[in-house]
Amino acid sequence: MDNTALLESVNLAVGYNQGSSRQLVLHSKINVQLHRGEFACLLGPNGAGKSTLIKTLSGFIPKISGNVLVDGTHLESYKRNQLAKVVSVVLTEKLQVSNMTVFDLVALGRTPYTDFFGTIGKHDKQLVMQAINDVGLQGFANRQLVCMSDGERQKAMIAKALVQDTPLIILDEPTAFLDLPSKIEIVQLLKKLAEEKQKGILLSTHDLDLALQLADKIWLLGQGRELESGIPEDLVLADGFRRFFEKEGILFDNERGSFKVQQKQLKAIRVVGAGIEYKWLSHALNRKGYQTTETEGDYPQIEVDKEANKAYVLHQTDGSKHELRTIEDLLEQITLD
C-alpha cells in the first residue's frame, strides 16, 4: 500500500508578508500529515491562524518558509490544472457569482476534466446532480445563488468540491452558516467520503463537539503554541483542549468532552439517586449556584425518587419535607424555604 501522505507540511512557517521587509509569522515549524482515508479537523480559538494555515496548505497564499507536499510532490511544482485534480478547496469568502445557478456553480467543479470550451457531458451532469443531492439541495439545481441563504450557498460550494472528485479535500469552516442537523449531515457525509473513497479530508471548524465525535485526527492550533495533532481521545487525556481553549470562567470538562461555564457555587446540597433525573437535577442545581454532594451534612437533601412517582423529595434542614414533580417546582421550593 502507498504510504505517502496526501498532505504533509515540513517545518512550515505561515503568515503574511507586510511590505518589502516586514513579515507577520503566525506559526513556524508546523509538521503535520494527512493520509488517505483520514478525516481531520483543525480546531483553535479565533485568530489562531486556522484560515491562514488552510490557505497556505492549499496554495492560496504563499508560505513563509518550509515545505508543503501534496501526494509527495512539492505544492509549487503542480501546474494549476494538475493540482485541481488532486485537491479541492472550499474557503469561506463570500461568493461573487450571484447570477449563477446552483447547477452552474457545482458544474465548475468539473472544469479540470472538461475540454477547452468547458463543455460538460452527460456523465458530468449526472455527477453534478448527485453532488447536489448529496449535500441536501434536492430541487435547488436551477435556483440562482443570489436567491439562497448563506447555509444553502455553503452546501452548494461543498457540492462543487465533491464533483471535483479529488483525493484531497480542504475546507475552511464549511459548516459555519449551517443549522445543527445540516452541520451533522455535512460532516458525516465528508467522513463517509474519507472512509469509503479513501480520500483525505481536512476541515477547520469551531464545532468541537462534532470534531470530538467524528474526526479521525484533530489538529489543535493556538496563538503562540506549536500545533498539536492526534486522535481526539489522546488529546483530551493530554489536557489538549484545556490548554488550547480554556479561559477564565470557561472550563473544559475532560470527562464529558465539552465546555462548561464555571459558576460560583456557594451553597452545599446533598443529592441522592441515580439515572437521567439525577443528572439533570445536578445540572439545574449547579446552574443555580449549588455545590452538589453525595456526603451527608448539615444542609438540605434531595432524593431522586422516580420509581415512587414522586420524582423529587426535598428534606430541608428544619426537618420539613416536600414532594415535587418537576425540577422547576423543586428549585422554587428551595428558594421559598
Residue count, binding to ligand ATP (CB under 6 A): 11
Shortest gap between Cβ of 161 and ligand ATP (angstroms)?
19
* Of the candidate residues 4, 23, 47, 225, the single one contacting ligand ATP (CB under 6 A): 47
| Amino acid letter for position 332 | E
Contact 88, 109 (CB under 8 A): yes
Q: Helical H runs in 173-310?
A: 180-196, 208-214, 232-237, 240-245, 275-287
* Of the candidate residues 51, 58, 88, 164, the single one contacting ligand ATP (CB under 6 A): 51
Select 24 or 147, whichever has its Cβ closest to ligand ATP.
24
Residue 250, interface with ligand ATP (CB under 6 A)? no
**Angle subtended by helix axes 150-163 and 180-196, to nearest 10:** 10
Stretch that binds ligand ATP, among 45-53, 71-79, 114-122, 186-194 (CB under 6 A): 45-53
Stretch that binds ligand ATP, among 28-36, 50-58, 209-217, 305-313 (CB under 6 A): 50-58
Select 66 or 112, whichever has its Cβ closest to ligand ATP.
66
The closest alpha carbon to 168, from 202, 195, 191, belongs to: 202
* Of the candidate residues 16, 98, 147, 250, the single one contacting ligand ATP (CB under 6 A): 16
Q: What cell was used for 39?
A: 478525516
Select 51 or 88, whichever has its Cβ closest to ligand ATP.
51
Would the CA dihedral through 123, 124, 125, 129 be positive or negative? positive
Select 53 or 304, whichever has its Cβ closest to ligand ATP.
53
Find where cell 461573487 sits.
96
Residue 52, interface with ligand ATP (CB under 6 A)? yes
The CB-side HSE value for 242 (13 A sphere, CA atoms) comes to: 11
Residue 333, interface with ligand ATP (CB under 6 A)? no
- Give residue 125's Cα distance to chain centre: 31
Q: What gap in Å lies between CA 6 and CA 13, rounded to an integer?
A: 19
* Of the candidate residues 24, 97, 180, 250, the single one contacting ligand ATP (CB under 6 A): 24
Here's the x/- map for ligand ATP, 269-308, by CB under 6 A: it reads as: ----------------------------------------
Q: How far is CA 151 from CA 68, 131, 209, 236, 252, in A?
A: 31, 16, 20, 31, 29
Stretch that binds ligand ATP, among 43-51, 108-116, 126-134, 232-240 (CB under 6 A): 43-51
What is the three-class DSSP state of 271? Answer: strand
- What's the length of the chain? 337
Select 43 or 235, whichever has its Cβ closest to ligand ATP.
43
Select 26 or 158, whichever has its Cβ closest to ligand ATP.
26
Select 46 or 99, whichever has its Cβ closest to ligand ATP.
46
Residue 26, interface with ligand ATP (CB under 6 A)? yes
**Angle subtended by helix axes 327-336 and 275-287, to nearest 10:** 40
Find where cell 451533522 sits.
184
* Of the candidate residues 35, 36, 39, 44, the single one contacting ligand ATP (CB under 6 A): 44
Select 19 or 139, whichever has its Cβ closest to ligand ATP.
19
Shortest gap between Cβ of 81 and ligand ATP (angstroms)?
27
* Of the candidate residues 7, 48, 137, 214, the single one contacting ligand ATP (CB under 6 A): 48
Contact 212, 62 (CB under 8 A): no
Shortest gap between Cβ of 172 and ligand ATP (angstroms)?
7
Q: What gap in Å lies between CA 241 and CA 261, rounded to an integer?
A: 15
| Amino acid letter for position 187 | V
Kindly list the residues in this chain that would bind ligand ATP in the complex (CB under 6 A): 16, 24, 26, 44, 46-52
